[in-house]
């Protein structure tokens, strides 16, 4: 029994947990995170170590690993906003399945959950009912070629100008006159849905679907106005605003 206790304690010693979150996590949707367990011991591998995250009601068993092991696990947050994972534990029945030994991990992880996207029954993706200010861009990704510009994150890869990129050693994209769909301006407070969370979910749905369809999206939220854009960082910024809206 003494020997079992020694090995059981050593099994949980010098073990660390790392979590990698995706850029987009939505409430009440299945999302996937990367859970990595790291063994800092020089010789002894890890046996039958279970990772438990209280805030996510999540448990995952790593049967055996030497230095590190990674797993992709699903999570389903029930609300939007900031999350902090502070109650993370590792436990094991190793070596003889007589006792469960556990240890709390000191690391804290934070991430942001976007609102649940919900299809709006009263308005379509391009409806004028929630449009307000008109906004037009003089360029896009269709029509006549008017210039070559630097690549920005979120621009369609198919418009990269490979020859120009090779000459300058920087990614360049073709810029065309705009023949695409007109931009969509979302006025959050004017969406005709009484419930605030449903209103936010509707706006989230419109943003997500617009980007899928290549429609530039802008938003008026409170006193802030964000001009329409198709850049990915713009999409994330809009979703962050909705996630933290009070």
All CATH 2.60.40.10 domain ranges in the chain, comma separated: 2-113
Q: How many CA atoms lie within 13 A of 182 on its CB side?
A: 11
pLDDT digits (tens, 9 = 90+) for 138-150: 444 455 455 677 7
Query: What is the predicted pLDDT for the residue at 3?
Result: 52
Query: What is the predicted pLDDT for the residue at 136?
Result: 40
| Ordered per-residue pLDDT tens for the chain, 246 residues | 545 556 678 889 999 999 999 999 999 999 999 999 999 998 899 999 999 999 999 999 999 999 999 999 999 999 999 999 999 999 998 776 678 899 999 999 999 999 999 998 755 444 444 443 333 444 444 554 556 777 776 667 777 878 888 888 788 877 654 545 688 999 999 999 999 999 999 999 999 999 888 888 999 999 999 999 989 999 999 999 999 999
Q: 159 is written with which tokens?
A: 């418009």
CA-closest candidate to residue 35, choices 10, 14, 56: 56
CATH code of domain 2-113? 2.60.40.10
pLDDT digits (tens, 9 = 90+) for 88-142: 999 998 776 678 899 999 999 999 999 999 998 755 444 444 443 333 444 444 5
Query: What span, in angstroms and rounded, lies between the C-alpha atoms of 66 and 45?
Result: 4
The neighbouring-strand residues paired with 85 are 109
Which phi and psi (to 5°) does residue 56 adopt?
-105, 0
The neighbouring-strand residues paired with 139 are none
């Amino acid at each position: 029994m003494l020997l079992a206790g020694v090995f059981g304690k050593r099994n949980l010693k010098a073990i660390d947990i790392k979590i990698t979150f995706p850029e987009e996590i939505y409430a009440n949707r299945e999302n996937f995170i990367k859970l990595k367990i790291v063994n800092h011991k020089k010789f002894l591998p890890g046996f039958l170590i279970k990772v438990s995250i209280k805030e996510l009601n999540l448990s995952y068993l790593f049967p055996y690993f030497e230095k590190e092991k990674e797993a992709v696990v699903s999570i389903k947050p029930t609300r939007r906003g900031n999350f902090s994972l502070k109650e993370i534990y590792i436990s094991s029945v190793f070596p003889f399945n007589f006792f469960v030994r556990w240890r709390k991990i000191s690391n804290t992880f934070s991430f942001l959950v976007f609102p649940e996207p919900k299809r709006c029954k009263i308005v379509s993706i391009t409806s004028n009912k929630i449009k307000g200010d008109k906004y037009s861009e003089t360029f896009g990704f269709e029509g006549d070629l008017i210039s070559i510009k630097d690549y920005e994150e979120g621009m369609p890869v198919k418009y990269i100008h490979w020859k120009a990129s090779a000459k300058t050693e920087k990614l360049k994209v073709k810029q065309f006159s705009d023949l695409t769909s007109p931009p969509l301006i979302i006025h959050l407070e004017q969406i005709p849905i009484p419930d605030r969370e449903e209103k936010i979910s509707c706006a989230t749905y419109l943003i997500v679907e617009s980007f899928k369809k290549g429609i530039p999206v802008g938003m008026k939220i409170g006193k802030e106005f964000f001009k329409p854009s198709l850049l990915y960082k713009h999409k994330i910024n809009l979703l962050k605003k909705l996630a933290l809206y009070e």
